[in-house]
Structure 1
Amino acid sequence: MTEPESAGYDYDVVISGAGLAGSAAAILLARRGARVALLERRSDPGAYKVLCTHSLHAGAYPVLDELGLIPALEKAGAVRNEARWYTRWGWIEPRAAPKGPELPYAYNIRRSTLDPLIRSRAAETPGVDLLLGHRVTGLLGGAGRASGVCVSTPRGERQIRARLVVGADGKESAVAKFAGVPARSYENARFGYLAHFRGLPLPGGIGHTWFLEPDMAYAFPNDDGVTVIAVLPDKKRLPAFREDLEGSFLACVRALPDAPPIDSAERITKFIGVLDHPLLTREPTAPGVALIGDAALTGDPLWGVGCGWALQSAQWLARAVASTAAGRGDLDRSLAAYARTHRRRLSGYQYLAADFARARPFNPLERLMFSAAARDESMARHMHLFASRLIGPLRFLNPVALVKASAVNLGHRVATAVPTRTRSRVERRTGGGAVWRRRGRPSAPRA
């Protein structure tokens, strides 16, 4: 639907929520010629999201680059998020191929650093008005179409008219609620607690994730020498865990394979918990409305994808609707294009995440891929691309990758079976008193 320039709008776009998704969308839309009101219910420009993995996956790097944030992130001490993952088959440790390019990366950075940084960039962008202390209380419009918002401000109630209303206001999105966009909810059978520690070195200085089937844990190094550690056990363990929160948390970390030395570290935050975190999926658009970030899709925090998807969905929206939001073209058609992109890029990931959120052991396909990645460098790199959200589920599980994984595991079984057969023959000849060699050195039999 094309609107005349004289339609009487205060802005082309009004965005509810000045976190990662909202601030990124405001910058990208304004650079493309839209007039943007960026609303933030909190009055503090330094406000930030507390409960977060504090990780930006490599799939979001192009958005950070377009926003011009890479130099500022590096200056702020953001840590490139290389990682290794523990499985029952050992560690998956992605490394660049010999003579190949370095592995793709983005950053780990605390939201207390990142949120004020991107919000200030939005406020400095020509065409963006950052309005702090503005909370959306309703939508304007008729005939089932939004044409602005009602807001509560420190100076009282006001109305802001706009062609497009964007909900960047999180999983409990007020914009989605007022627009009548329902959420499909998937149960998460894990709970989680995290805390920040100083003086906690990690091997290689890189992130660690533990797949303990069904429990999970991760440790991510961040800016200013701070490491974020989270444990995500099965909800069946919650009653006992809460009886002694600190003791249970520390016991979980101490029990991890190659556990970080948590007892020698300084905890600098309280334990932050989420006891019930369902995965939510909403239609990303309604007439006159677009949803981005957690408002459109709330993933499982164990995967550390929320920050990256917030930035990516902001970019997809800006590319789709910037000109039509400014009155040049069919806005509904542009919103439909954004919705298609959002579903195509994220629905497959969400399907897999919702299935894994049932706190179950690995299924046969997961066993195939994870075990092969722990045994083969090329499969580890393939896993890295998927974990970085640079390839989707279909490319991750493509026939060539499945055949490769099967060949790796078959070769491993053959290789490990040979010493067993050799040992049996020697034991028959020596009566079990054979001298074994490991890594080329003799190992004397015990007395």
Structure 2
Amino acid sequence: MGIPNYDVIIVGARCAGATLATYLARAGASVLLLDKDKQPSDQILSTHTIHPPGIDVLDEVGVGEPIRSKSPATRMMRLRKNEGVIDVPFAEGRAEYCPRRKRLDGLLQEAAVQAGAEFLDRTRVSGLLWDSGRVVGVQAVQRDHERVFSARLVVGADGRRSTVASLVNATEYLGYDAPRAMYWAYWDAPDFWRTDPAYGVGMYLGRLGAVIRVVFQTDDNLILIGSLTPLDKASSWRSDPLDCLTRDLIQDPFIRPIVEGSRPEGHVRGTVRERYFFRTGAGLGWALVGDAGHHKDFVLGDGITEALLQARELAHAISSGVEKSLYQWWRARDVKAIPLFFFGQDEAALTPVPELVSLALSRAADDESLKARFAQMLDHRLSPYEVFQPGKVLKWALSGALRGKPKLLAEFQRMGRRISQVNREVKLRKALAAKEA
């Protein structure tokens, strides 16, 4: 019997991999989808919120309505930076959803199979097949049996600790170690969650002092609540994560009534040592998609959305049949991702929140045009560094300086330098993309 041959082998069958498989199979490609774990299964290191552009992709692959049937829609989110608070409504007809991973991944895997992809779970890739420097297949272990599969293209969709990335020796760039750990758990939504106007948002991202806390409503009347605590404090959490998490969460007045005097469903989840990065996205016979090729700070909650969008664009590149399209896709990925990547670094930084940022949020709370720009950012239609117009922020800084707060001008200058740095990086990535055109 010969070696089974496919157009594309995708290693990793969760959000990025299963979505990519669906698009490719629908386009007529022969696709083998592999995953090392029994599927569908939970993904314990995922806070699983999905921004509106990701929901668009779910609609395209046919799982949007099943997600909406069980996951509550979040149409407004609350942002807090110390004294600065703003409630941001999503654009008309747009919403955020936070489905549990076992259900989400299962729906995506079913869609891939229905589209014509072959799916093997509990199949671990142990090596790659090479021919003259090109990847031409994979070696795998399926329930203690060695298997070999060949393909024109192998795609690593196997997460931030990607086996495929390691085997092709993909180069990392712009990488840095996370300054924070993250712990979270699931609490039953109290009655007031639906009825109290103070809780008229389905999503909360708040920073008080050094700690960032998040709240997402999810399936089965549960609320995901978590804390991104500075890494130097995280080691003390390991002995009793529930007690440490609860004591931390009650410091936030928005969260305290939800968790005080109650216990979460299940155990506390956490990740202590993360690394955020870009990796080379394509090479001869291979590509990386989702967290395998690019991983940004958890504080943004953007991982699934990014994976879904990447999968759609990579499918177009592969379906073109032109190998150069893979390199163009990789460079375009970076151009789109750079602003959010740097913004995540800024949001999670351990340095104190600039007073000018808190002031800007407070001013935006009464400005409908600024709220609309926040909504555009959440929809991936506006860079986070473009939400506030510089002239308006300068006016606020000058006004504060005249009232005895000259540091606001210094903060404005630092923000300007950071924006210039981000713009230079985007310009560099655009230049690299142009070379692939």
TM value normalised by structure 1 = 0.81
Give the match for residue 443 of structure 1.
none
Q: Which stretch of structure 1 is more off in the superposition, 60-69 or 350-359?
A: 350-359
Tell me which amino acid in the other structure corresponds to 1:302: V
Which residue of structure 1 aligns with residue 151 of structure 2? 162
Q: 2:298 pairs with 298, 301, 324, which one?
A: 301
Q: CA deviation at 1:260?
A: 4.1
Does the CA contact (< 8 Å) of 2:281 and 2:327 recur in 1?
no
Deviation at 1:358, TM superposition (A): 3.5
User: Residues 347 and 205 (structure 1 numbering): CA distance in 2 closer, same or farther, change over 3 Å?
Assistant: closer
Cα distance change, pair 102–283 in 1 and its aligned pair in 2 (3 A): same
Which residue pairs with 1:33 in the alignment?
Answer: 28
Q: Summarize the alignment of residues 307-326 of structure 1 with structure 2, pairs less than 5 Å apart.
A: 307-324=304-321
Match for residue 342 of structure 1? 333
SS at match of 1:33: coil
Distance in 1, Cα, partners of 2:75 & 2:33: 30
Aligned CA-pair RMSD: 2.7
Contact persistence 2:81–2:358 (CA under 8 A) = no
Q: What are the within-5 Å matches in structure 2 for residues 204-219 of structure 1?
A: 204-219=200-215
8 A contact 2:59–2:65 mirrored in 1: no
TM-superposed CA distance for 1:407, in Å, is: 4.6
Match for 1:252: what amino acid? D
Q: Flag the 1:410–1:358 CA change in 2: closer, same or farther, 3 A.
A: closer
Question: In the alignment, which of 211, 224, 228 is matched to residue 228 of structure 1?
Answer: 224
Out of 57, 61, 66, which is 1:67 matched to?
A: 61
1:132 matched to which residue of 2? Answer: 121
1:110 to 100, 109, 122: 100
Alignment of 1:146-295 (within 5 A): 146-154=135-143, 156-184=145-173, 185-200=175-190, 201-202=192-193, 203-242=199-238, 244-261=240-257, 262-295=259-292
Report the AA paired with residue 118 of structure 1: L
Tell me, what secondary structure is at the counterpart of 2:328?
A: helix
Unaligned runs of 5+ in 1: 1-7, 325-329, 416-447
Q: Which residue of 2 aligns with 1:90?
A: 84
Determine if the alignment matches structure 1 residue 359 to structure 2 residue 353.
Answer: no
Equivalent of 1:23 in 12, 18, 29:
18
Aligned residues: 395
Name the counterpart of 1:376: 367
Which of 381, 388, 392 lines up with 1:404 in the alignment?
392
> Are the structure 2 counterparts of residues 94 and 138 from structure 1 closer, same or farther at C-alpha, using a change threshold of 3 Å?
same
Would you say the 8 A contact 1:32–1:323 is kept in 2?
no
Are the equivalent residues in 2 in contact too, given 1:279–1:300 (CA < 8 A)? yes
Could you tell me how far apart the structure 1 residues matched to 2:71 and 2:347 are?
Answer: 33
Contact (CA 8 Å) 2:4, 2:148: kept in 1 or not? no
Distance 2:130 2:291 in 1: 24
Normalised TM-score (structure 2): 0.83
Query: In 2, are the aligned partners of 1:24 and 1:314 still within 8 Å (CA)?
Result: yes
- Show CA shifts across 1:11-33 (max 9, x none): 10000000000000000111112
Larger-Rg structure = 1
The answer to which of 59-68 and 188-197 deviates more is: 59-68
Q: Which amino acid aligns with 2:82?
A: R
Verify the 8 A CA contact 1:189 1:358 in the aligned structure 2: yes
Mapped to 2, the partners of 1:115 and 1:47 lie a distance apart of 8
- Residues in 1 aligned to 2:402 and 2:67: alpha-carbon distance in whole angstroms: 47
> For each residue in 1:287-341, what CA deviation from the matched residue of structure 2 results, as whole angstroms up to 9, or x when unmatched?
11111111011111121000111101101100111131xxxxx32x111121122
1:414 offset after TM fit, Å?
Answer: 9.9
**Alpha carbons 1:379, 1:405 under 8 Å: kept:** no
Letter in 1 for 2:34: L
| Post-superposition offset of 1:34 | 1.1
Distance 1:414 1:58 in 2: 41
Deviation of 1:355 after TM superposition, in Å, equals 4.2
Q: Output the amino acid matched with 2:213.
A: A
Q: CA deviation at 1:182?
A: 2.8
C-alpha distance in structure 2 between counterparts of 1:410 and 1:378, whole Å: 21
How far has the Cα of 1:195 moved from its partner?
0.5
Partner of residue 380 from structure 2, selected from 389, 397, 400: 389
Q: Which residue of 2 aligns with 1:426?
A: none
Q: Residue 65 of structure 1: CA displacement?
A: 2.0
Give the residue type in structure 2 aligned to 1:274: T
Q: 1:46 to 1:61 in 2, by over 3 A?
A: closer
